[in-house]
Amino acid sequence: MTETQLNSKALVEKREREKAKKPKFRHQESWRYERLKENWRKPRGIDNKMRKKVKGWPSSPGAGYGGPKNSKGLHPSGHVEVRVFNVDDLDKVKPDLEVIKIAHTVGDRKRIEIINKAKEMGIRVLNPREFKELKESTTEKKEIKK
């Protein structure tokens, strides 16, 4: 492993250690009502105790709770995520520092091309899909009609 990979792994580990010390921010009174999910929602009521930061109520997210700047945007593997739209975008990727995510708008045919070229170049793909081989549907249809 290169020095930058070791450094980025250490940054990710530091981010996880710091995250463990911070509170889990929850939707107000989600612990009280089953109909409320725990997903964070900003308290907005005029008399809301969490918004007012009343003692005894859970804390809300704020500026002091952020993680280390250097580790922002890093994948848990320690690599930087790069979004790819076509095969030409792979030329700009550095395999030892970056991993790719194929954009959701990319179709199956182009996705197969991107995955194959990424394998050749030794680039890790974060969201490969399982799919059947693409058939030449147009030639098959013509043969059936004849």
One digit per residue, the tens of pLDDT, for the chain of length 146 reads 566 666 888 888 998 999 899 999 999 999 999 999 999 999 999 999 999 999 999 999 999 898 888 888 888 888 999 999 999 999 999 998 899 999 999 999 999 999 999 999 999 999 998 766 655 555 555 566 66
pLDDT at 36: 95
- Cβ 40 vs Cβ 26: under 8 Å: yes
DSSP 1-62: --HHHHHHHHHHHHHHHHHHHS-----TTTTT-TTS-SS------TT-HHHHT-TTSPPPP-
User: What pLDDT, on the 0 to 100 scale, is given for residue 139?
Assistant: 54
The predicted model scores a pTM of: 0.65
Listing DSSP states for 77-101 in one string gives: TSPEEEEE-SGGGGGG--TTTEEEE
